[in-house]
Amino acid sequence: MDNDSSTSLPFEDEYKGYEIYVEPNPDKYSEGFSWSISKNDECLDSGLEFDIKMAIDAAHNAINVLENASH
């Protein structure tokens, strides 16, 4: 797993007005990182990736898809 030690967890950020949240997989028997995006306290998408960077990238991609669909 490629885990950037400079990224502290849980990771929270805002991108294009959406909130991104990344944390270690809550399933203690599986590795990986859970990500979710929300806006106005509503979870709009979520997923599981193998490393932190992949989780953040997946969240950004999901937001871009939502943005493109709304135009």
Strand partners, 27: none
* Predicted pLDDT at 50: 95
Q: How do beta strands 18-24 and 11-15 pair? A: antiparallel
With b for 16 or more beta-carbon neighbours within 10 A and e for fewer, the 16-38 pattern comes to eebbbbbebeeeeeeebbbbbbe
Q: Which amino acid is at 7?
A: T
* Predicted pLDDT at 8: 87
Phi, psi of 69 (to 5 degrees): -70, -25
9-67: pLDDT as tens digits? 899 999 999 999 999 999 989 899 999 999 999 999 999 999 999 999 999 999 999 99
